[in-house]
Amino acid sequence: MSTLKAVRGTRDLLPPETELWNHVEATARRVFARYNFGEIRTPVFEETSLFARGVGEETDIVSKEMYTWEDRERFDVQGLINAWTNVQVTERGHVLESAIPKMLQAVEKFGVRLILGRRNPEKPEFVAFGSKVTREAVEGLTNAKKELRTSNVFRYSPDADYLRRFGPGLRLVVPAGLPTEDIALGEVIVEEFPGHFNKSVQSLTLRPENTAGVVRAYIEHKLGETGLLQKLYYIGPQFRRERPQKGRYRQFWQIGAEAIGPPSAGSESPLRDAEVLEMLAAFLDELGIEGWRLEINSVGSATDRARYVAALREALAPVKHRMCEDNQRRAETNPLRVLDSKDENDQEIINGLPKIADYLDEDSKAHFAAVLAVLDKCGVKYEVNPRLVRGLDYYTRTTFEFTHGGLGAQNALLGGGRYDGLSEALGGPKAPGIGFAMGEDRLILTLQAQQEQAAALADAFIAPLSAELNPAALELARELRRAGLRIELGDGSFRLKKSFEIGNKLARKIVLLGEDEVKSDILTVKDFASGEQVKVARGVLAHALHATSK
């Protein structure tokens, strides 16, 4: 028997790794609570139309990546049999009830559930029950009749002779009102039977993201009527049928938050955008993620964007035939997506396309400038990326991504932005909002890489500044190693630049050992991560290195 494995793109999280997941989640809860966010838990599946209307029909997520199914109440075959049999007995005549259990067992062999009935004793029938008229059911019935003559399953039936003599008819009973497959029925009679054996059919989807679900809940529970800003965070799995690779899964985890409310609650204010970004910077720092970058842009109001998309279409029309197939398609269906194409050959064309900044109206420009001003004031570093438009249709004005170089192709740690019209698009009241979602899997990957790197690094790299100082360098190394430190020793023949390069790869700190240092017993120590350089007396050097070793 083949062994069962987790489905492609999904995985198990096991101890001790789950400890790291719990740590990340606990840090998120702690930091978000300081900003007065409360937790919301929405269902893992929703009606498909929520995502079609919220995220946008033309987006990759909705058009290609969702796990969607028709959800219907299970077909109740026994209910249909009981109801039908009852009617036959009470209204129309006579059913060979004694034969039913035996027949039910016997006909499994033919692939359809059959019982034997007859409206009147002169016309016996094979009767099959199904949720709909399918090819298999019709074939099964026809085969059942063929096999009747040769089979001995009816040997003990009191009616065997009787049946052989008459040759029963074939009847397929299905609940009324269901679509029928267009197939040849041959001699099979179809009877549609009234009754609710198969209830409402709904299209459902495993959530590919959670902003639409949160806004649906905001509308459903009339949270806007409180008049207050709703600050909600969530932690949970999301599902997208993407091609799996490092940092990209089909079931992945997001930690996200949304600040949404009526305009009177200040939900439109640039201060909200900046506060959310500052919270993210605080969270990543508290978690110890090093080297993140914040890229930010404004995609303007819905009307700004419509004008921009028209300009993009126009600019793409004469050049798109020179672009890759994907971009040719995007140029038609969703020109904004061309901007985040990574295709090398198309970059020149893309760089020459109109910039959204030139299509923003005065209000959007002022809003963006105000967001940046608050960030400057609180010292949150960012880069404006005019090509950052993001892959979901609901965004307006501020959009952003935090990236990390260590992640490779899937370098977005998190993404988010403002969605001032989403509530109205879902039939709710005016409720501007801003939020983000972090890829928890990617946070974990980044932390693991950092931990591995840290574990592999020596506490210090000793760099003698000339060959004559080599003996003194080994003496110092011996001293520090005896104190239990992990020390890498350079060589006096290395140029200073080379010592720094090697030291940076192998150790957390570099200790410079020149003539002055030897004479004064005061050493120069530089920390590679912080860039900080300090003088340390030799007598306390081991202690100082221990204090900062991880």
Contact residues for ligand HAM, defined by CB under 6 A: 209-211, 240, 242, 247-249, 252, 254, 256, 258, 392, 412-417, 419, 435-437, 439, 441-442
Which bin fits 390, alpha (ψ -120 to 50), beta or left (φ > 0)? left
Strand partners, 301: none
d(CA 503, CA 485): 15
The least distance separating ligand HAM from the CB of residue 10, rounded to whole angstroms, comes to 11
∠ CA 347-351-356, nearest 5°, is 130
> Cα–Cα distances in Å, from 420 out to 56, 272, 305, 386?
15, 13, 13, 20
Helices 17-34 and 440-456: angle between axes, nearest 10 degrees: 120
Shortest Å, Cβ 446 to ligand HAM: 10
CB of 379 to ligand HAM, least distance (A): 24
Query: Which has the closest alpha carbon to 195: 129, 138, 246, 253?
Result: 129
Smallest distance, Å, CB 401 to ligand HAM? Answer: 6
Cis previous bond, 16, omega within 30: yes
Count of Cβ atoms closer than 10 Å to residue 538 Cβ:
16
HEC profile for 15-60?
CCHHHHHHHHHHHHHHHHHHCCCEECCCCCEEEHHHHHHHHHCCCH
Judged by beta carbon, residue 442 or residue 508, the one nearer ligand HAM is 442
DSSP 8-state symbol, 91: I
Which ranges constitute the DSSP H helices of 298-397?
302-316, 325-333, 347-351, 362-378
CB-nearer residue toward ligand HAM: 309 or 412: 412
- The residue among 414 and 511 lying less far from ligand HAM, judged by its C-beta, is 414
**From the CB of 442, what's the least distance to ligand HAM, in Å?**
5
Closer residue to ligand HAM in complex, CB, 142/364: 364
Residues 6+ apart with CB under 8 A from 388: 295, 296, 297, 340, 399, 400, 401
CB of 394 to ligand HAM, least distance (A): 8
Rounded to the nearest whole angstrom, what is the least distance from the CB of residue 435 to ligand HAM in the complex? 3
Rounded least distance, CB 210 to ligand HAM, Å: 6
Min dist. Cβ of residue 395 to ligand HAM (A)? 7
360, burial (CB in 10 Å: exposed 0-12, middle 13-18, buried 19+)? buried
> Among residues 21 and 528, whose Cβ is nearest to ligand HAM?
21
Residue nearest to ligand HAM (CB): 439
User: Measured from the CB atom, is 274 or 518 closer to ligand HAM?
Assistant: 274
Instruction: Tell me whether residue 218 or residue 461 sits nearer to ligand HAM (CB atom).
Output: 218
d(CA 50, CA 215): 10
